Structures are given as C-alpha cells and as structure tokens.
Amino acid sequence: MDQRKIGIFIATCRKEKGLTQEQLGELLGVTNKSISKWENGVSLR
C-alpha cells in the first residue's frame, strides 16, 4: 500500500464533499489529528 497515494485520495474526497478534517473525523468517529496523519501519509491507524 502506498500511504502517500491513499492520503491524497482521502484529502481529495474530503475536499470534494466540502468537509473539514474535523467534520470527517466526527463522521468516522476519529480525531481530526488522525485524519491529518492519514492525509499526510504518516499513519493509517
């Protein structure tokens, strides 16, 4: 898995829906910091 590509995909989809990282985090039950890590390819957990 390429974490960078996955992060770009997550960020693109989130922005297309007009959501902030915080709003997406609330929908998924995770923190906005987790979303940020995912989008930056730091972690997928």
pLDDT reported for residue 20: 98
pLDDT reported for residue 30: 97
Both structure tokens of 7:
């992060």
Q: Is residue 43 part of a domain?
A: no
Rounded to whole angstroms, the Cα distance separating 29 from 1 reads 23
Rounded to whole angstroms, the Cα distance separating 21 from 30 reads 10
pLDDT reported for residue 40: 94
Q: Is residue 9 part of a domain?
A: yes
pLDDT reported for residue 4: 92
pLDDT reported for residue 1: 73
Rounded to whole angstroms, the Cα distance separating 15 from 2 reads 20
Both structure tokens of 44:
């997928």
Number of structural domains in the chain: 1
Q: Is residue 15 part of a domain?
A: yes
Q: Is residue 45 part of a domain?
A: no
Both structure tokens of 6:
């996955």
Structure confidence by residue, pLDDT tens digits, 1-45: 789 999 999 999 999 999 999 999 999 999 999 999 999 999 877
pLDDT reported for residue 16: 98
Provide the residue range defining the domain that includes 7.
3-38
Q: Is residue 34 part of a domain?
A: yes
Q: Is residue 20 part of a domain?
A: yes
Q: Is residue 44 part of a domain?
A: no
